[in-house]
Structure 1
Amino acid sequence: MKADPAVQRRLLDLAQVDAELSRVTHRRRTLPEIAEIAEAEKTVRAKTDALTTIETTLGDLNRDVKRQETEIDQVRAREDRDRKLMQSGSVGAKQLTDLEHEMATLQRRQSALEDDLLELMERREAVEADVQHARVALDKAQEALSDAARRRDSVLADLESTETKRTADRKLAATQFPEPLLALYDRVRKHKGIGAALLRSRRCGACRIELDSNAFSKVRESAADEVVQCEECGAIMVRTGESGL
């Protein structure tokens, strides 16, 4: 294949645009924020689960406290009823003795229930503190996630802008090449990653391998408008004064 040497040199500009587009694609796939977001999401889930567990414990304690308070109120009501009955003077000696015994039992029961209630309330107070700490931890985790997402979105927006501009540049640049040359360039780029590179000091700019004597002789003997390719990577080698020919 033949192409004007000046046209071949313009392949270097096209290759530079394609290299930048490749960097944009690679950067988009390997953003550190992506891994950071995944880790932050994992942390948020863990903190959410921890908060749910603690809030469930607090709910159970609230129900236990309410049940204990209800039982204490019932004991007090029974005690008040017995006291009023004893003070009414309408009960006989045996019933009075029974009421006194029941009053003593109710007082012991009330004292035990109140001790249990105090313990429950102390536990609830500690768990309420744990809930507050868990909420703060969750808020911090969510804030870290939001921050990472904002930074990712900002970088992606910049990459999108660069990609849009360079894609337009490539579309315009592609019109400057004859179809056979552009097709060869695109085919090599698709399979090897780089379609064209400068031959500098006997070294292919795509694979960085120095041409051996036979390969270098073939290139040197080729006509200026001959399109030559690297025997190692297939890239079109663009020859200039830096090629060492």
Structure 2
Amino acid sequence: MALKATPNDQRRLLTLQEADTLIVRLQGKLRSLPQTQRIEELDTELSALDRTVLERLGAHDDATAEVARIESDVQVVRARLQRNRDRLPTITDAKTATATEHENETLERRQGDLEDLELEAMQQQEDAATALAEARREAETARAERDRLAAERELVAADLEQQLEAARGERGERAAQVPADLLALYDRQRERYGIGATLLQRRTSVASGVELTAAELHEIRQAADEDVLLDPNSSAILVRTDESGI
């Protein structure tokens, strides 16, 4: 037996469909907030930037350790050289004095070489510190942008959630005005085909945008006003009004 409903109840489906369309649109906006794509890009960038920071921190630590090692070697050579210099005036044996002088010359050359190495190591340490600071600045800048966008997205999402809650409330009120059997058919068609009801406007289904054929229009004209019809193109409930042109 074909479902029947008053024309007024059928027209209520159009306002219900408006509410459902709004809900779908709001849900789509929530899923595709403009900030989300950039946040995902920044997450990828931050992962790489944080790795760079760790790598450069390791290079800086290595350079700092190398400076410390060379400084320690320099101190050892300086201390040995100073002891020899302090001791040399007290040495009475000529052979020992000569050997000590030769050792001092070797120590002086070694000290010079180490001090040159120390300068190079200190430059490498400075370069590593500069590179580390640059990597940290880039990471901090990216993280600040991400935090800003996340906060912005949260505000936008909260507003959309509020609109969605209101739309769902409105949908519930409109659905309550539709007879249960008609509502069940509407919900079934909407779940299957994406839309539950559509207006027949000037012989065209608004949902599909397709003008009905002469044969289809003839069949519709033969139906009673209380007959619930389905759009042959979209499978949604076809609601007839004064705009239908039939």
Class of the TM-score when normalised by the shorter of the 2 chains: over 0.9
Residues 30-179 of structure 1: pairs in structure 2 closer than 5 A: 30-89=32-91, 91-179=92-180
1:6 aligns with 2:8: yes
Aligned-partner Cα distance in 1 for 2:129–2:41:
28
Larger displacement relative to structure 2 (71-80 or 205-214): 205-214
What one-letter code is carried by the residue in structure 1 that aligns with 2:213?
D
What one-letter code is carried by the residue in structure 2 that aligns with 1:54?
R
TM-score, length-normalised on structure 1? 0.97
Aligned-partner Cα distance in 2 for 1:41–1:8:
50
What one-letter code is carried by the residue in structure 2 that aligns with 1:48?
D
Output one character per residue of 1:31-87: Cα deviation in whole Å (capped at 9) or x when no partner. 222211110111111111111111110000000000000000000000011111112
Partner of residue 231, structure 2: 230
1:205 aligns with 2:206: yes
Aligned-partner Cα distance in 2 for 1:76–1:149:
58
Aligned-partner Cα distance in 2 for 1:15–1:214:
27
Output one character per residue of 1:2-48: Cα deviation in whole Å (capped at 9) or x when no partner. 11111111111100000011111212222222211110111111111
Partner of residue 181, structure 1: 182
Larger displacement relative to structure 2 (207-216 or 98-107): 207-216
Aligned-partner Cα distance in 1 for 2:222–2:36:
51
TM-score, length-normalised on structure 2? 0.96
Deviation at 1:220, TM superposition (A): 1.7
Match of 1:198, SS state, is strand
What one-letter code is carried by the residue in structure 2 that aligns with 1:125?
E
Match among 17, 20, 36 for residue 18 of structure 1: 20
Match of 2:23, SS state, is helix
Aligned-partner Cα distance in 2 for 1:150–1:210:
47
Output one character per residue of 1:179-205: Cα deviation in whole Å (capped at 9) or x when no partner. 110000000000111100111111111
What one-letter code is carried by the residue in structure 1 that aligns with 2:57?
E
Larger displacement relative to structure 2 (80-89 or 97-106): 80-89
Aligned-partner Cα distance in 1 for 2:153–2:208:
33
Aligned-partner Cα distance in 2 for 1:177–1:218:
25
- Percent of residue pairs identical: 36
Aligned pair count reads 244
Deviation at 1:211, TM superposition (A): 0.8
